[in-house]
Amino acid sequence: MLIPCWRSVPALSRKTLSGDLPKLEKFDASLIDKSKDACNDFFQYTCAKWIAAHPIPADMPLTSVGLPLYLYNQTILRQAMEKAASNPQARGSDRQIGDFWRSCMDEPGRKVNGKAWLQSHLKEIESLKSKKDLSRVLAYLHLNFPAAWQPDDNSTKVPLFGFGPTQDLADASKMVAGIDQGGMALPSLDHYLDAADRSKEIRAKYVAHVQKMFQLLGDSAEKAFGEAKTVMEMETAFAKASMDNVSRRDPRKIYNKRTLAQIKAAVPDFDWDDYLKRVSAPAVPFYIVSTPGFLDAIEEQIQTRSLDDWKSYLRWWTIRRGAAYAGTDLEQANFDFFGTVLSGTLQMLPLWRRCANSADQLLGEALGQAYVNIAFPPESKQRANELVSEIRQTLAAESKQLDWMGAETKKQALVKQDSTLQKIGYPDKWRDYRSVKIDPANYLANMNAANAFEMHRQLNKIGKPIDRTEWLMTPATINAYEDPQMNTINFPAGILQLPLFGREQDDPSNFGGIGMAIGHEAIHGYDDQGRKFDEKGNLRDWWTPEDAKRYEEKDKCIVDQYSQEIPEYGVKQKGELTAGEDTADNGGLHMAMLALEKLYRSQGKSLDTPEADGLTARQRFFLSFAFSWCSDVRPEAARNQVMSNPHSLPRFRVNRPLSNMPEFQQAFGCKAGQPMLHYPSCRVW
């Protein structure tokens, strides 16, 4: 049974706290840089003034109009935790978030507990007698630190391999067990393998960083250097055996059923039974192995590497996992590489903001109740729900008109559309964290307890029916997602805020902001991935071969448009990696505009008549869309994103879709030959 915790949290009135909350951004016509030409670079036209007035903060990899919202969301979480911490009568989840807050804000305590933990575990690994013990150490790290169950676009960022539940692609009604490539701390395979000077430099800095961390924990410089070299060699071997991030987007390629006997045959020198028992994984008839060849690499490393090499690898991952919880010097050194070298960020976020992040990650639904009480009243939920419906209805109506999609596929598209579950703001039932023991004086132990709770919760799903009502993001998250296997679209309360969405904001601004994001998520149901999953989430391509061919021809226009060198970062954008997101951006913006047109028509208004601020509603729609992406990204972070992330950089997410839209060119008087008019104009949706 789940506790209706939100009732036990006293409703904090907006009034008592609003004085402390940062002001959110909102598009305003005075932000336009009239010295610039809208048809030359619309991103600059909309954003240059805002960016000039908001330089990148030292503790951020970028500046963006979303930063005030990020601070706003974190401030609400902080206030909820402070309030709980200062209330000796607090019970239940209130008590948990209060105690968690106290433990996280206690810097001296973190240092003592974290260092003691690290030293004892490093010593224990040092004394291992056999490679047979690998399974024990690995199970411990997977259980007690995030997030073995959570693959990213490149790999699972935990030692050796990822392990967790995954939906069965052949029978989407249930969860099965999955094993993913992992064991690499750098963001993408290219970071290990490519020949670019900047990547070589990052690799050299990574080895120096690993060495430094060993030294900080007492190893001699010479020993630490040898250990770091070994770590780099082993992670590089794993990178070589891994699947690249473009192939990983093809669900058929990562769907490889293996029985436990087959897995044991591929990696006989790892004690699978011991590992599975230690993490309390249920027995299952088969596992989905994303990269079968990766298992061979694990076996090869176990066979060819000495016990000492494996100790280095495990000790490194123990440090890597524990450093952020073990006092300022280790946390700072960890940040110097993963924050500064990889993303260019100059300093860590203040402690309270790191604690707000950590609490949101570990106890997100306990905090989410307090968050929505302040930031997402029922009226906002209702309006957001309507907006999502309006844009999805537009997509359904438009799908019927598409010239490249045949009648049979159109029928299937509508079936899928009808069965999509639309989730707004926060879960109907909140997660029950009662079994997580929170100690006000031991942050690391709390993190371990919350993580073990989550790992068990995840593994417990294996073999059971799916739960479409579960959220993969916390209520305070500034993001949204479409889940092709669950056939859901999900908009947390954290993103349903200004500048993207506000009940007090005009319709063109809401449609340009959150409307485009809604269209984007809805289209994911039909893009390079979504089309491969049917309405039940089964891996079944429901398109006819002719439709698929025509789609790919249409989409190639977008792949080519986005496949560009980005000379200032020394990287080339892989149009095939970002195609799904780019196509969703282009189509999403188009759907949002059509939905706004429909709304205006129903109110007897035109989008093309100048309104009070001199702008037409259509112009304000495009400006609000561009404004919602205003940002300036540090070069290190931008390069990292291009290499490892399927989303294009913000300025491309603005200019490229607009350059494909005649309605935009008309609204701003752009002519052939100008950069904001792409030829040929790419349009899929």
Which residues of this protein are in contact with Zn ion, per CB under 5 A? 581
Least Å from the CB of residue 480 to Zn ion: 8
Nearest to 391 by CA among 201, 181, 591: 591
Between CA 244 and CA 161 the distance in angstroms is: 16
Least Å from the CB of residue 378 to Zn ion: 28
If residue 617 lies in a helix (H) or strand (E), which one and from where to where?
helix 617-628
Q: Which is nearer to Zn ion, 331 or 581 (CB)?
A: 581
Q: Are 503 and 14 in contact (CB under 8 A)?
A: no
Least Å from the CB of residue 599 to Zn ion: 24
Least Å from the CB of residue 587 to Zn ion: 11
Q: Which is nearer to Zn ion, 454 or 581 (CB)?
A: 581
Between CA 289 and CA 287 the distance in angstroms is: 6
Q: Are 287 and 257 in contact (CB under 8 A)?
A: yes
Residue 67 token pair: 């930063």
Q: Output the CA–CA distances (angstroms, integers) from residue 363 to 207, 288, 360, 668, in the order listed.
A: 34, 29, 6, 47
Q: What is the DSSP string of 221-285?
A: HHHHHHHHHHHHHHHHHHHHTSPPTTGGG-TTTT--EE-HHHHHHHSTTS-HHHHHHHTTPPP-S
Q: Which is nearer to Zn ion, 156 or 583 (CB)?
A: 583
Least Å from the CB of residue 584 to Zn ion: 5
Least Å from the CB of residue 563 to Zn ion: 18
Q: Which is nearer to Zn ion, 153 or 299 (CB)?
A: 153
Least Å from the CB of residue 521 to Zn ion: 6
Q: Which is nearer to Zn ion, 133 or 581 (CB)?
A: 581
Between CA 370 and CA 78 the distance in angstroms is: 10
Which residue's Cβ lies closest to Zn ion? 581
State phi, psi for 632 to the nearest 5 degrees: -130, 120
Type of residue at 366: A
285 C-beta neighbours (distance < 10 Å), count: 10
Between CA 409 and CA 530 the distance in angstroms is: 13
Least Å from the CB of residue 581 to Zn ion: 5
Between CA 455 and CA 317 the distance in angstroms is: 18
Q: What is the DSSP string of 382-433?
A: HHHHHHHHHHHHHHHHHHHH-SSS-HHHHHHHHHHHHTPEEEEES-SS----
Residue 617 token pair: 């509603």
Nearest to 663 by CA among 627, 619, 609, 626: 619
356 C-beta neighbours (distance < 10 Å), count: 27
Q: Which is nearer to Zn ion, 288 or 480 (CB)?
A: 480
Least Å from the CB of residue 85 to Zn ion: 37
Least Å from the CB of residue 524 to Zn ion: 6
Least Å from the CB of residue 657 to Zn ion: 13
Between CA 450 and CA 582 the distance in angstroms is: 36
For 86-196, where are the alpha helices, taking DSSP H only? 92-105, 107-126, 134-144, 189-193
Q: Which is nearer to Zn ion, 245 or 373 (CB)?
A: 245
Between CA 300 and CA 333 the distance in angstroms is: 32
Q: Which is nearer to Zn ion, 95 or 524 (CB)?
A: 524
Q: Which is nearer to Zn ion, 276 or 480 (CB)?
A: 480
Q: Output the CA–CA distances (angstroms, integers) from residue 25 to 55, 61, 72, 77, 478, in the order listed.
A: 15, 19, 11, 19, 14
Residue 563 token pair: 């496949």
Least Å from the CB of residue 577 to Zn ion: 13
Q: Which is nearer to Zn ion, 238 or 471 (CB)?
A: 471
Cα-based torsion angle of the residue sequence 448, 450, 456, 458 in order, rounded to the nearest 10 degrees:
-120
Least Å from the CB of residue 50 to Zn ion: 24
Give the single-character DSSP code of 472: S
Least Å from the CB of residue 63 to Zn ion: 22
89 C-beta neighbours (distance < 10 Å), count: 6
Least Å from the CB of residue 646 to Zn ion: 8
Nearest to 362 by CA among 6, 104, 5, 73: 104
Residue 499 token pair: 């500048």
Residue corresponding to tokens 């007897």: 604
Q: Which is nearer to Zn ion, 203 or 520 (CB)?
A: 520
Q: Are 624 and 658 in contact (CB under 8 A)?
A: no
Between CA 199 and CA 288 the distance in angstroms is: 32
Q: Which is nearer to Zn ion, 39 or 517 (CB)?
A: 517
Between CA 139 and CA 483 the distance in angstroms is: 29
Q: Which is nearer to Zn ion, 235 or 581 (CB)?
A: 581
Q: Are 189 and 574 in contact (CB under 8 A)?
A: no
Q: Which is nearer to Zn ion, 309 or 581 (CB)?
A: 581
Least Å from the CB of residue 401 to Zn ion: 23
Q: Which is nearer to Zn ion, 25 or 581 (CB)?
A: 581
Between CA 495 and CA 37 the distance in angstroms is: 30
Least Å from the CB of residue 481 to Zn ion: 7
Q: Which is nearer to Zn ion, 219 or 581 (CB)?
A: 581
β-strand pairing of 571-572 with 287-289: unpaired
Q: Which is nearer to Zn ion, 528 or 581 (CB)?
A: 581
Q: Are 92 and 8 in contact (CB under 8 A)?
A: yes
